Amino acid sequence: MMAGGGACWQCGETGGHEATAHVRQEEARLSSEVKCPGQSRSQDMCRICRSRNLHVYLDMGRTPLANSYLRADELGKEEFKEELAIQVCLDCGLSQLTKVVNPDLMFKHYLYVSSTTETFQSHCAELAKTAVAAARCQRGEWVLDIASNDGCLLSKFRDIGMKVVGVDPAVNLAAEANQAGIPTLCDYWSTSSAEVVVSRFGRPKVITATNVFAHADDLHEFLRGVDRCMARHGIFVIECPYVIDFIEKNEFDTAYHEHLSYIGIRPLQTLMAQHGMSLFDVEYFKDLHGGTIRVFVARRGDYPAHSNVQAFLKKEEEFGIADAKRYREFGERVRANKEALVGLVRQLDADGKTIWAYGASAKGNTLMNYFNIPTGLIPVAVDDNPKKWGWYTPGSHMRIANIDELAQGKVDYLLLLAWNFESEIRRRCRAIHYAGRYIVPVPEARVIE
Residues lying near Zn ion in the complex (CB under 5 A) are found at 46, 48-49, 51, 89, 91-92, 94
Query: Cα–Cα distance between 236 and 251 in angstroms, integer?
Result: 27
Residue 257 Cβ vs Zn ion, minimum distance, rounded to whole Å: 20
Distance of alpha carbon 285 from its chain centroid, rounded? 15
CB of 49 to Zn ion, least distance (A): 3
Q: Whose Cβ is closer to Zn ion: residue 98's or residue 385's?
A: 98
Nearer to Zn ion, 51 or 192 (CB): 51
CB of 274 to Zn ion, least distance (A): 11
Is the Cβ of residue 89 or residue 131 nearer to Zn ion in the bound state?
A: 89
Query: Which helix (H) or strand (E) element contains residue 314?
Result: helix 307-319
- Report the chain's C-alpha Rg in angstroms: 22
Helix (H) or strand (E) holding 96: strand 95-97
Judged by beta carbon, residue 94 or residue 100, the one nearer Zn ion is 94
CA atoms within 13 A on the CB side of 12: 9
Query: Which residues, other chains included, contact 254 with Cβ-Cβ below 8 Å and sequence gap of 6+?
Result: 241, 246, 289, 290, 363, 366
Report in angstroms how near the CB of residue 250 gets to Zn ion at its nearest.
Answer: 23
Burial label, 29 (beta-carbon count in 10 A; 0-12, 13-18, 19+)? exposed
Per the CB < 8 A criterion, the answer to whether 189 and 217 are in contact is no
CB of 370 to Zn ion, least distance (A): 25
Tell me how far, at minimum, the Cβ of 46 lies from Zn ion, in Å. 3
Q: How many angstroms separate the Cα of 284 from the Cα of each of 206, 210, 243, 327, 443?
A: 19, 13, 12, 22, 20
Q: Got the DSSP string for 196-224? A: HHHHHT---SEEEEES-GGG-S-HHHHHH
